[in-house]
A and B are shown apart, each in its own frame.
Chain A
Amino acid sequence: MKNKILWIDDDYYTIQGLFRPIEEVGYKLDIALSAFDGYKKAQKWQDYDLIVVDLILPISQEESAPEIVLNWNNQERYAYVGVGLVEWLLKDLKVNCPVVILSVVPDPISTFKLDDWGITNCIRKSGLLPTTLKDELSKHLNI
């Protein structure tokens, strides 16, 4: 048991209370505030029980980012940066832990045709309460 979750979301500071119930049962959060940050941290995906990704993300908070990350900002290909990140996680990096989309974007799986990517779950942020999130994520964690 790693008891660690990677959460890629630039709104972390404001909505960190969402994960409080999960933290209370012993999980630790590792935060990435941009797609590039998530890209770097996800290289060690084996350290995590779960990866939670927001779709509306900044590319990077630094000056530069690798080409692969910059491509996620290509709006003709990806509607949102997070979609590119999720594709990279599941198709290129082939992470073997659950990947959950936690975003305000409604129904991204059918909207962007992500059915065959192997996304574990897609949770709509809008109207989400901490207890509801815990219930949703507990399906993929040992809670």
Chain B
Amino acid sequence: MNAYLLGILFGLACFGVFYILDRIGRPLLRGLLNGPLNGFYLDYLRSSTKYEFDLASAANNSDRAWSSLVFEKVYQIGVLGVSYSRRERNLEYIKAEALSRPHFSRKIADELIKVLPKQYGNLDFQKKLACYICELLSLKTDSSMKDKKNKALRPIHSVALDRLTTAISAWIAGALYLLLSLYVLDRYQPVLVVVSSFLLFILMVIPLFNLVGTWVVKITGAGTIATSIIIFLGVFATIAHGRTQLPLEVNLDQYQNPETVLTIRSPEWLTMNNTECNGKKISVSVVGKLTALVRFRVNDHRFYFTNKDCVEIIPQIEINQSEIQAYEFYIASRDSSPFFSQTASIKIVPFFVLNSEEVDFNSDDFVTMKLENWFWNLVSNLYIAGGSFGCTILLYLLNYFVNKKRL
């Protein structure tokens, strides 16, 4: 498959995952944390509030510092394992604090409405809470209060850690996206990998992405789109660049024809078009150009071609050993991927045999070449990781300037 098309696909996948995280993943995880994992959730709430409080205090943003504590109390009211005496205390705290923060009354009411249905264990408290919500909603807020609220909700920029968190989140997200994309192409069970990567992503990234609305990292709206675009560009650039522009030169001096240098511009990728598992015909195309006769083995099927871009072969053909001249590739073949319709990608590990010798898969040659290929893969992956890191820096800068402008 064309590398640019891959970039586009994975860029779209990035955006899709962001969207899913925003709409489904976050509420799902919040539900989990509110239920079976509430101890963890309470610890997380407390830690994130402390973090928020310290950041805001350091930035002399007292309004934000103390409002974070109010919202921690609100969220605690909705957590399953919290006793009702504690919920009562939290409500007292919220009432006292809301008196000095009328500009937050609407938001506090909104959050309390969310936790109201969870008070089924104590109907008296539920009534008390409902009454208080009505009281809050009846408060009038004027425009100056809204300004005050908006000001309090602004991200803190005087503390580098805040932005660093954003960068780390994006970095983890970007790296996982890249891993996802690589695994989807390289493994037999892409669905499994997609699901596990998605779960891993949720576990690692969501806590950093404003999970409970404490504004530790605020990336919403335009910021989310910008993030998606940047990651999309990163994936696009790194895949396209890393896959097509990184040459692997294999010097065959020690083999039969010392003058022949086989250059494969994209050594890992071949594409099989019109693949049919039970069909009669398989066409193989090579990205780049081969300058020598190459023999392939796909599972039990062998075939070969010379310096052509595409040849057609018939499966189960037995190539006459005398036709083998110098080089042979072992192809770590895979089933055709349902992800890419009729097209499958095959990872190949090149190795060489002398003349027409049969391939001994346990031979030192094979191991050596496999290691060499592993090395180049590593180089390639590091290259991609570098690209991703570059994207993270871009995201960091964009986030900084966008938020600076908002201030």
Interface set of A (CB-CB < 8 Å, partner B):
11, 13-18, 56-58, 80, 103-106, 124-130
Contact = CB atoms under 8 A, between A and B. Distances in A.
19 contacts: A13-B50, A14-B46, A15-B53, A15-B69, A17-B50, A17-B54, A18-B57, A56-B92, A56-B96, A103-B96, A104-B66, A104-B96, A104-B97, A124-B100, A126-B97, A127-B66, A128-B62, A129-B57, A129-B62
B34 to A, nearest CB: 20
B49 A56 contact: no
B67 to A, nearest CB: 9
Residue of B72, B93, B100 contacting most chain A CB atoms (<10 Å)? B93
A106 B65 CA distance: 18
Contacts, number: 54
Nearest to B91: A56
Given A104-B96, A104-B97, A105-B96, 5 more contacts: A17-B53, A58-B89, A125-B66, A127-B66, A129-B65
Contacts of A13: 46, 50
Interface residues of B, number: 23
Contacts of B57: 17-18, 129-130
A132 to B, nearest CB: 8
Nearest to B51: A14
A99 B97 CA distance: 22
B63 A127 contact: yes
B66 A128 contact: yes
Interface in B54-97: 54, 57, 60, 62-63, 65-66, 69, 72, 85-86, 89, 92-93, 96-97
Interface in B308-365: none
B162 to A, nearest CB: 15
B382 interface: no
A130 B56 CA distance: 11
Nearest to B62: A127
Contacts of B367: none
A129 B58 CA distance: 9
Contacts of A18: 57
A126 B89 contact: no
A22 B293 CA distance: 79
Contact of B101 (A15, A80, A126, A130): A126
Nearest to A108: B96
Contacts of B46: 13-14
A129 B92 CA distance: 22
Residue of B63, B89, B101 contacting most chain A CB atoms (<10 Å)? B89
A125 B85 CA distance: 22
Given A126-B101, A130-B57, A56 B50 contact: no
Contacts of B66: 104, 125-128
A112 B99 CA distance: 17
A71 to B, nearest CB: 16
A106 B93 CA distance: 11
A125 B50 CA distance: 15
A125 B99 CA distance: 12
